[in-house]
Structure formats: structure tokens, C-alpha cells
Chain A
Amino acid sequence: MKSGSNLEKVLKAGHFAFTGELGPPRGCDVEEVKEKAQHLKGNVDSVNITDNQTAMVRMSSWAASLILLQEGLEPNFQMVCRDRNRLAMQADILGAYAHGIRNMLCLSGDHQKFGDHPMAKGVFDIDSIQLISMVKNMRDNGTFLSGAELHGIPKMFIGAASNPFADPFEWRVHRLAKKVEAGCDFIQTQCIYNMEKFREFIKQANDMGLTEKTYILAGVTPMKSVGMAKYMKNKVPGMDVPDEIIKRLQGAEKGKVADEGIKFACEQIEEFKEMKGVHGVHMMAIEWEHKVPEIAERAKVLPRPVVD
């Protein structure tokens, strides 16, 4: 065991993992975190806690992660490169581990221009792949990035993101390979809608042996409405929403669009369960945490495994 986190245990035991996501509040309301967490409890193996997602200031990821721990859920502490330099990152990794956080997701972070402080100085002291390498080095070699020795080693289960749909498509699998080489233990992908392209991506990853070196969790976000689908298609960079999906949602009965979105998500999950090289699903039910129990039920991923 690298970290002994629940997520690692579930994956190592060969179960099909199911992870969730929780965005911390735009304030210090603990109840808001607890409310969202209760919908996820028992329905997912680990919960990603976003780090100033879309460059909007929120309660810090590690702090909200601690609330999750107190509530009996396992957090996956997200860390972006936009807001901290290498000193702050390493300090937060140590602090997070000291308080019981065992999973980390290493990300570049959306550019600050998209958020509520567009003229902020973006730090990007190191990039996401360098961050993966830094966390791995802390864990496996017991040293800081500087090479100095750590006293007490943070044994994190190291995650990273992968977007199979951004351009150029042929390059994506090689960037995944760089992340694997840098030391990531698991990957959570961008939301998948274009299944055909994803099958091709996973085939490439299988052919390169990457899926034997890292666990791949396929990203799923159920569509709530036609408007959301169109927004994702047209406004979110690197997102690939085929027209068929939009047509399918448009064809749903009145008041049943969200249901159709969940139905599509469940069909995806069924396929992922059988897909070679896919080890689980990362469910990003954005501001839809209360729907996760229903989605998990319909996707037949319950009960979640308990691994000692």
C-alpha cells in the first residue's frame, strides 16, 4: 500500500471505484459542506474537494477536506498550481497529511481570468506534472523538492486529471504517459460525452501499457438540462459534447430531461464497467450532490465495497 487510503484499497482489491465531488462554499458555512457530504456518504469511495474551482475563491480545499473527515467520509484533496508556490504547496501537503488526508489530485487549475479575481497574479510556480513528481518524491524518497530530508513522510495516494478530448487528440495519451511517468497512481478524466473518442483514447492507453501502471476513473457528469449541454458544448474549453446527446435530451418528455441525463450517465457507467483499462467512475454531479444516491443506485454501484 502506498497510502492506505480507502480509494487505494478499493482499487487495489480490484473493485470498480466510484468517487464523488464536492465544491466548498463561497464562505465559511460548515453546514453547507456537511449538507452536501451527507448525500455522498456511503455512496462513493472518496470525495474530491475542489480547490478554488473555476478560479472562484472558496473555502480552502484542505479545510473542507477536514470537515469531510470529521463527517466520516474520505476526501480527495485537490491542489491547483495557480494559487500557491512550491513552498506553500509542500506545507499544505504536510498539513493535510498530518490531519489524515490520504488522497491528492494534482491539477494546473483554470486561469484566474475566468474567476472572480481576473487580475490576480497566477502563481504557476510549478505545473501539474511537476506537482505529481514533487508529491511522489516526498512520499517515496522522503525529501522536499529541494532535496532536504523530511521528518515524517506524507504517504499520499496521488491522482491527476486527464482530458482525452482537448486538441491535439493524438497528443493526449502522451501527456497521460508523462503523468504516469511522473508518478500518478490514479487518473480522473474530464467529463466524457463522446464515447467513441473515449474508447479510442483508452485503446491507445491500453496499447501503451498505461492502464496497467495507473488506475483510470472515467469522468461522468449527468446533464441536468438542454441548456447545460449546450453550455458545455459551446462555452467550456476542451469539452466534447456530440450533437446526438443534445438531440437526445431535446427529445425527452417535458420535465424528464434531467432523468434522461441520468439515464445516459448510467448507460455510460455500464459500458465503463466492462471497458478494459477503466477502473472506476468519477461522478461529478455539479451542484447536484443530492442526486448522487439516486444516480449510484440506478448505476448499480451500491453498496460500496468495504476493504480492510
Chain B
Amino acid sequence: MIVAKRKPFEEIKEMIKDYKKVLNVGCGTCVAVCLAGGEKEVAVLNAEIDMARKLDNNPIELGAQTVERQCDHEYLEELDDVIGDYDAVISMACGVGIQFLAERFPDKPVYPGVDTCGMSANQAVGWYEERCRSCGKCVLGMTAAICPVTMCAKGLYNGPCGGTNKGSCEIDTEQPCAWFRIYERLERQGRLNNILIYTPPVEWNDQIPRTLIQPGYKKPEKAG
């Protein structure tokens, strides 16, 4: 899933300092699961803002609404009748959701409540580890399902480099060396042949904003 981290409170407070009536919109999917921007986090942030603004003698009226997904028109629709009452909006969704929300309400200033931190797995409650950079050219078949783009700090395709250190990466002993692990797993599966041959430079597919159309579907007549 996409994971995010709540922005520092002072940063959020500064962004909305000139507004008297702000709607805080949570997202009920990825950022709710990773405990950054769901219904509960919206309520916590609003309570913090409310208290801080009272202390500053600059009271604020706050609304709270959490939609199922901000990256989907279907769920944003429920804001249509609500949003007009507010001077500005905080979105607690990921970078995708907030932009989609802002596109729907182009007259409304929209501010991010979170920093989007990538695509990660739930290792334990509150602990997420990145696994994919969405490069658009998956090589996991070759690398025993360990991503060298994400898990190798240098993103090497022909590793490990000379900085590998007893199974760790040179950047940090706590950071496993992706290529050491790739080697171990391929060896275990008898597939080392995969990485004996040179992998040529990658044709990067993520250098322009991308769109995706699944087979059997087409681009809508009027997008966005």
C-alpha cells in the first residue's frame, strides 16, 4: 500500500494560519491502514489545531470528513455539498489523493496534512517497509523477488557492489544488502544462472507522468 507520515504540527499550523474555517478530509484506504490519515488521525489533528489556535487567540472552525478513497471520483462526490462552506481544505490522503481532490475543487486552496513516503508493506503495527519504487520495468523474476531498485541503496542491476559488508549495506549495518539476499535466495533455489549474465542499462519508464489503461478499457472522452 501507499504509506504516509503526518506532517509536523507546526508546518500544518503555519500553512492554514490565515483561514478561519477549514475542512480536514481523511482518506479511508492506504493512509488509514498506515495510521497517518484516516478518520482517527483527522480527529487528532483537528483537536491539536483547535487547541493551538485557541491559545493563539485566533480561533478556527474545523470540519472533519473521511472518504473511502480520495483517488476515486465516486467517493469525492460526497464532498460536493460540504466543501463550499470552507475557506480551505487539509487533505490527509497520499500525494495522489490530495491532487485528485484539488482537481475536483479548483477554486479551493488545498493543503497536505501528510508526507507521502512510498509503497510499503506492513511489517508490524505502525512499522512499514518500502518494497517498490514503481519503476515500471519489473525485474523481480530475475532477482528472486527482491527489488534491486528499491532495496539496493544504489539501485544497482548488477550487484552487489564492493560496499557490501557481511550481508549489510555500506550505508548502515542495520540495512541488509539487497544483492547479498538476492544471491542467497537464488542460490537456495538453484537459479544463480539468472545473475551470471550482464544486465544492460534500464529503459526508464518513470521519467514522464504515466497513465495506465488496462486491456479492454479505453481513455474516457474527457479525462479529469
Is B158 part of the binding interface, using a Cβ–Cβ cutoff of 8 Å?
no
State whether B208 touches A119 (Cβ < 8 A).
Answer: no
Q: A119 — nearest CB in chain B belongs to which residue?
A: B203
Which residues from B are CB-within-8-Å of A119?
202-205, 207
Is A28 part of the binding interface, using a Cβ–Cβ cutoff of 8 Å?
no
Q: A117 — nearest CB in chain B belongs to which residue?
A: B201
CB distance from B187 to the nearest CB of A (A): 30
Which residues from A are CB-within-8-Å of B208?
111, 113
A119 to B207, CA, bound (A): 8
Question: How many residues of chain B are within 8 Å of chain A by beta carbon?
Answer: 6
Which residues from B are CB-within-8-Å of A120?
204, 207
A111 to B204, CA, bound (A): 13
Is A122 part of the binding interface, using a Cβ–Cβ cutoff of 8 Å?
yes
Question: How many residues of chain A are within 8 Å of chain B by beta carbon?
Answer: 7
Which residues from A are CB-within-8-Å of B204?
119-121
Indicate the member of B203, B205, B207, B208 with the most A CB atoms within 10 Å: B207
A121 to B135, CA, bound (A): 11
Is A112 part of the binding interface, using a Cβ–Cβ cutoff of 8 Å?
yes
Which residues from B are CB-within-8-Å of A112?
207
A122 to B208, CA, bound (A): 10
A122 to B203, CA, bound (A): 12
Q: A124 — nearest CB in chain B belongs to which residue?
A: B207
1/0 per residue, CB under 8 A from A, across B207-222: the answer is 1100000000000000
1/0 per residue, CB under 8 A from B, across A90-124: the answer is 00000000000000000000011100000111100
Q: A121 — nearest CB in chain B belongs to which residue?
A: B204
Q: B206 — nearest CB in chain A belongs to which residue?
A: A121
Q: B203 — nearest CB in chain A belongs to which residue?
A: A119
Q: B205 — nearest CB in chain A belongs to which residue?
A: A119
CB distance from A57 to the nearest CB of B (A): 13
Which residues from A are CB-within-8-Å of B203?
119
CB neighbors of B among A56-72 (8 A): none
Q: A120 — nearest CB in chain B belongs to which residue?
A: B204
CB distance from A294 to the nearest CB of B (A): 42
CB distance from A111 to the nearest CB of B (A): 8
A interface residues with partner B (beta carbon < 8 Å) = 111-113, 119-122
9 closest A-B pairs (Cβ-Cβ)? A119-B203, A121-B204, A119-B204, A122-B207, A113-B208, A121-B207, A112-B207, A120-B204, A113-B207
Q: List 16 A-B contacts (CB under 8 A).
A: A111-B207, A111-B208, A112-B207, A113-B207, A113-B208, A119-B202, A119-B203, A119-B204, A119-B205, A119-B207, A120-B204, A120-B207, A121-B202, A121-B204, A121-B207, A122-B207
User: A111-B207, A119-B205 known; 14 other A-B pairs, CB under 8 Å?
Assistant: A111-B208, A112-B207, A113-B207, A113-B208, A119-B202, A119-B203, A119-B204, A119-B207, A120-B204, A120-B207, A121-B202, A121-B204, A121-B207, A122-B207
